[in-house]
Amino acid sequence: MSRLHLTKGARETNDPQLSVISANMPLRDKAEGTAAPLIPEKLTLDNLRRAAATCTACDLWKKGTQTVFGEGSPHASLMLIGEQPGDKEDLAGHPFVGPAGRLLDEALVAAGIDRREVYVTNVVKHFSWIPAERGKRRIHKKPRYSEIKACRPWLDAEIAVTRPQVIVCLGATAAQSLLGKEFSVMRDRAKFVPSELAPNVMATVHPSSILRASDDESRRAQKEMFIADLRVAAARVRKLRRAA
Ligand code: SF4
């Protein structure tokens, strides 16, 4: 199989509306209104990162400071997929480096996962925001369906290169765009669900939702649940390693 082609797992999604790239279609084939034509011929993370830096496939590039591409080991067994870069990530140019990223780092350590062995990315690579009513703050705005669709080829290409054994969707936006609109993170968190994306796919909350908890006690409880979810993913990675 040409490296231009995704594996079967990386090519499809449970949500037919988000099947931007259909089976047997090369990654670079034109999918109107998406980043697909920008996917480089030689699929490496460096090539993808370089190409994504100048992506204008949706209007979010006009708002964000820069493309925030995924980062981590090209051989990562575990891929974590969030929604989009936040304010800090947009300025730094790296995913999960703001407050939610710090919480994620702590949770990964507590779950026994080495972040250096993980690939972290988002379904959308530019920061979607609106100005605060007062002051200069930039307020997170959930990306539109059309923006998620436009950006999807970058994620598919990241999956095609890294071929993770386990994918964890962080939050409802990532989970519903990859696992279907009916997917409920609250109902199905930490359960492995059938998916063509990877052999083992599950979802949990986005760490930013824990930061929004109303009080310390609730925040602590939600963080413990998040760590427990990540332990499920870590256990699956270890089991797969033992079986390999
Ligand atoms: S959000 Fe994705 S598709 Fe839109 S401009 Fe940025 S990289 Fe391109």
139, part of any domain: yes
Task: Tell me how far the alpha carbon of residue 53 lies from the centroid of ligand 1, in angstroms.
Answer: 9
Q: Which residue has the tokens 């089991």?
A: 239
1 within domain boundaries: no
* Res 20 pLDDT > 60: no
Give the angle 181-187-190 at the CA atoms, nearest 5°.
100
- pLDDT tens digit sequence for 152-173: 999 999 999 999 999 999 999 9
- Please give the number of the atom of ligand 1 that sits closest to the Cα of 143: 1
CATH number assigned to the domain comprising residue 139? 3.40.470.10
Ligand 1 atom closest to 56 (CA) = 5
Residue 46 forms part of a structural domain:
yes
Percent of the chain surpassing pLDDT 90: 82
pTM of the predicted structure, to 2 decimals = 0.88
* pLDDT reported for residue 89: 97
Given a cut of 70, whether residue 9 has pLDDT beyond it is: no
- Tell how far CA 29 is from the center of its chain: 22
- 84 Cα to the center of ligand 1, angstroms: 10
Q: Does residue 12 surpass a pLDDT of 70?
A: no
Is 2 part of any domain? no
- Helix H or strand E segment including 201: strand 200-204
Residue 13 scores a pLDDT above 60: no
Domain with 104 in it: 8-243
Is position 96 within any domain? yes
Give the contacts of 215 (CB within 8 A, at least 6 positions apart). none
- Tell me, what's the pLDDT at 84? 97
10, pLDDT greater than 80: no
Question: Average pLDDT, stretch 181-199?
Answer: 97
Q: Which atom of ligand 1 is nearest to the CA of 150?
A: 3
Q: Which residues contact 189 (CB under 8 A, 6 or more apart)?
A: 202, 203, 204, 205, 225, 229
How many angstroms separate the CA atoms of 167 and 187, rounded? 18
Ligand 1 pocket at CB < 6 A: 35, 52, 55-58, 60-61, 67, 124-126, 147, 150-151, 154
Indicate the Cα dihedral angle 233, 80, 209, 96, nearest 10°.
Answer: 130
Question: Does the pLDDT value for residue 34 go beyond 80?
Answer: yes
**How many structural domains compose the chain?**
1
**What's the CA-to-centroid distance between 225 and ligand 1, angstroms?**
32
Read off the pLDDT of each residue in 205-210 and give the average, rounded to a whole number. 97
Classified as helix, coil or strand, 130 is: strand
Q: Where are the beta strands (DSSP E) in 2-43?
A: none
48-65 residue pLDDT tens: 999 999 999 999 999 999
**Mean pLDDT, the chain, whole residue set:** 89
Q: What was the pLDDT predicted at 27?
A: 59
Residue 13, domain member (yes or no): yes
Expressed in angstroms and rounded, the spacing between residue 60 Cα and the centre of ligand 1 is 6
Q: What pLDDT sits at residue 46? A: 97
User: Distance (Å, rounded) from C-alpha 100 to C-alpha 117?
Assistant: 19
Query: Is the residue at 107 inside a domain?
Result: yes
Q: Which one of 39, 50, 55 would you pick to mutate in the ligand 1 pocket, going by the greatest count of ligand atoms within 8 A of its CB? A: 55
Give the pLDDT band (50/70/90) at residue 32: confident
What is the mean predicted confidence (pLDDT) over 132-147?
Answer: 93
DSSP count for the chain of H helices, then E strands: 10, 7
pLDDT at 83 over 50: yes
Q: How far is the CA of 176 from the centre of ligand 1 (A)?
A: 19
HSE-up of residue 92 (Cα within 13 Å, Cβ side) = 14
Task: Answer whether residue 138 is part of any domain.
Answer: yes
| Residue bearing the bigger pLDDT, 187 or 27 | 187
